[in-house]
Structure formats: C-alpha cells, structure tokens
Structure 1
C-alpha cells in the first residue's frame, strides 16, 4: 500500500474503533479524529506512532474548516459519526429535537464532504458510514430511520453531482445490523455484528474498491454474518 494516509472521523466510537484497528493493521497512517480528547489519549496509548490524533468536530462549518486546516492532504476519509437519541414514539418527539437529530447525522456528513473531501488526493476515497434503518421502520426508532434515510439521499446526491468530475470515489456503507461495540458489549446478542467485522469490511473497501467512481452502486449494505437468513 505504501505510505497512505486515512482521516478517520469518529475514530473512538463503537464503529470507528473497529475501523481504526483494521486500517492500522493494513499499514495505513491513520489520523484519528474525535470530539473527546480523553478517548484520543487512549487511542494514542494503544497504537503509538501508527496513529496521529486530532480533537475536532464536524458539527458545523467552522469546525469542519478548522479540522481541514489541521489535516492537510490525505488519501482517504472515512466518516463514522452519528447523533445520540432517546427511544420513544415519534409523536413524542419535539420538532426541534427531531431537527437536531437529523442535523447531527446528515449535517455532519455534509460538513465533512464540503471541507474534507477536497483534501483527498485524486483517485482516493470518501466513505460515509450510515445505518440500515434507512430501509427499515421499528417503533421508537422512527426519528433515527428518518435521519439515516436522509443521510443516504445526501450521499446519492453527492455521487450524482460528482459524475461530471469523478475525482474522488464517494461511497456510503449502510451497516444493517445492531453493533456489538465497546459501549454495547454487555448487552450485545450473538447475532450482532462486531466493530472489528465492520472494520475489516471497510479496510477491504479501501484496499480493493468494489464500485467505479461516480455511480449510485456506491451505496453499499453490510449485514451481520450471523444474521438470520
């Protein structure tokens, strides 16, 4: 692979930790981005010089611009961020809270695309991680489904608008499974997908791109290998 650099935004979350481990194993120089300095300190202690850390936030354009200035050119960007949410029926959600949830998911990915995608070298990757609720409705998860469906449409739009100049491979990976990660380990079920399984899949995508630049086939779905058939 050579000296290739990956900017991993959301590197300390349940999914990001798996992507971080898998890409470091494959020889990427990873820049781990998180809003939480204490978690980044733990990342640095675990991975040492293989990882550079940046405390950054893509919640708004000002944060995106600051992060871009600190990052510099990269070969790939992976965005693994989402907003937290309480479980309750959709009619109990105040409109401003629903709007904030959508902004925390969709808006963050838009900020990343606007400020970080220009840093990716020609032929590189910009990959966003989303959820399978984009295609599924479960009671009390409706606002999350709305946010994830909107995020998928954002990536479809980015792909469509880049067709005339497909300099960077834009893709979204929908993880259509509950995630067995650091924050869910104690309650995870055997059929949940692990953060390391997601990380290995993402690392494969970056190593051997499976979709040509600028096509809507670039919206991919990953399910748990133990999901009921």
Structure 2
C-alpha cells in the first residue's frame, strides 16, 4: 500500500491546491476537514483519484487526539502531513479591539497548529518515516495593514515552527514551515485577486516538494514564485526552488527599488548636469 499524504484543512482555499498538487505527483491523499459535505464535494472533484476523506478538527487537544485515532484506524502508512490550517477574522485595527479579540484569534489561528503537531507527529514517529509541513500566511515580518491580528498570529506561527523543528529531532521527524508572504489566489477570491498573488496550486506544488525533499537544517522556508518558462529549476529540487527564511527577496520584486532605478536611469540618459536635489 502506497504511503499517503495527510492534508489538514483540505477543503480550504490553499488546502485544495495542496490536494491537487499531491495527486498530480502520484501521492495518495488523506483529506481532513471539519465538514463532511465539503469533503464529499472534494472527493467528487477528483473522480477516481486515490483520495480518502476523514472528517476531523484540530481546534483543541481533545479533537486532535480523536483525529489521530481515526488516522491510526486507517491502517496505512503516511508519507507526511501538511497542515494548511488558518482561521478567518474581520478587518480592523488591533487597537480598536478588546484584548479578548486577539486571544480568540490566537486560539483559532495558532493553537490548532500546536494541537495538530502534539497528536500527529507521533504518527510519523511510529512509522519511522514522513515529514511534517505547516503553511503560514502573510504579515509575519511586517505589519499587514488592517490585519494586525493576522500578522501577530503569523509571527507566532513562525516561532512555533522553529520550536517544533528543534523538538521533533528527538522523534526523528522533520518539521518545516512554508511561509507565503502575500495572500493566495483561491477559487473564492479569484475575481478580485492581484495578479501577483500565488495560486493555491503553486503553493501546493512547493508544499509537496518540501514534503518530498525537506531542507536539512532550515525550519522556515519562504515561498518563491515559479521560475519563468525556460528557466525552471530541476523539478522538486528544494535547493534551487526555495530560499531560507533569512534570504532577502529578489531586488526586482520590490516596487520602490524598481521606481528608484527608473528615476536614476532617466537622469543618466539625459546627460543633464543639473543637481538632482533641484
């Protein structure tokens, strides 16, 4: 029996991209989500693909433990686990909200990742194989205007991933975080999504690549857009497809730098000796 890839949050926007990417790579999938109706729809979308649906949640320790037992009952090996778990939340300033608002957001956005890791990492350790990947959203390094609570949660998830990466060594399981520094283009927001936003499938492809070939000592990996056609790195080669958390973004990806270069270019092309400050 082929080892399956367990995908938490499989019916979410990014989770669907991970499911498709995993199936495209020939991985059997165990899709986990809260709502059985959404899981049934997901299974129908993939026809005769090797996909098993398991209703479950990791919103608390008790639910995480129950999910672990359901997965054990499947009696099949797992190649890895991808946790695409993200809560919702309205837009607004953190200063305009009571402290309880942030507490609730962390309860819904961050702590499920801990509950999942506590109860599902042992599944991989028992099997003696498999890698564990968390997927994080934007705002972890710089405040996301209007979504400060999401920035705080994303920054906390980055640290949680580093801690899990270190502590999971004792279990002989590798934990990584794929952090995506901008919103994802999904089926629900495609009409108003920016052309710069990565698709859920592109994120899923990099997530599957990290499960297949995780970097040895890099806990946090930044999502990087696929290379242009004709310049693509070797398929699923983490060393060329991803950059470590500390790697700066490509200079041309920063609009302000592009604008400065264009301005300097205009001055140099005119040959003017006029003082720039004027």
Q: Fold match, TM over 0.5?
A: yes
* SS state at 2:139 partner: helix
User: TM-score by structure 1 length?
Assistant: 0.91
The structural deviation recorded for 1:32 is 0.3
Residue matched to 2:119: 115
The structural deviation recorded for 1:75 is 2.3
Residue matched to 1:33: 32
The structural deviation recorded for 1:140 is 1.2
Of Structure 1 and Structure 2, the greater strand share is in 1
- 1:16 touches 1:80 (CA, 8 Å); kept in 2? yes
The structural deviation recorded for 1:65 is 0.9
2:83 to 76, 79, 83: 79
The structural deviation recorded for 1:223 is 3.9
1:134 to 129, 140, 156: 140
Residues 1:192 and 2:179 aligned together = no
> Which consecutive unaligned segments of at least 5 residues does structure 1 have?
none
Root mean square deviation of aligned Cα: 1.7
The structure with higher relative contact order (CA 8 Å, sep 6+) is 1
Residue matched to 1:205: 210
Residues 1:95 and 2:99 aligned together = yes
- 1:176 touches 1:224 (CA, 8 Å); kept in 2? no
The structural deviation recorded for 1:127 is 0.5
- How many matched pairs? 223
Q: Which runs of 4+ in 1 moved over 3 A?
A: 223-229
Structure 1 or 2, whichever has the larger Rg, is 2
- 1:134 touches 1:149 (CA, 8 Å); kept in 2? yes
After TM superposition, the structure 1 stretch with the greater mean CA deviation from structure 2, 153-162 or 13-22, is: 153-162
- 1:106 touches 1:147 (CA, 8 Å); kept in 2? yes
The structural deviation recorded for 1:123 is 3.4
The structural deviation recorded for 1:138 is 2.5
Residues 1:15 and 2:14 aligned together = yes
- 1:177 touches 1:224 (CA, 8 Å); kept in 2? no
- 1:14 touches 1:182 (CA, 8 Å); kept in 2? yes
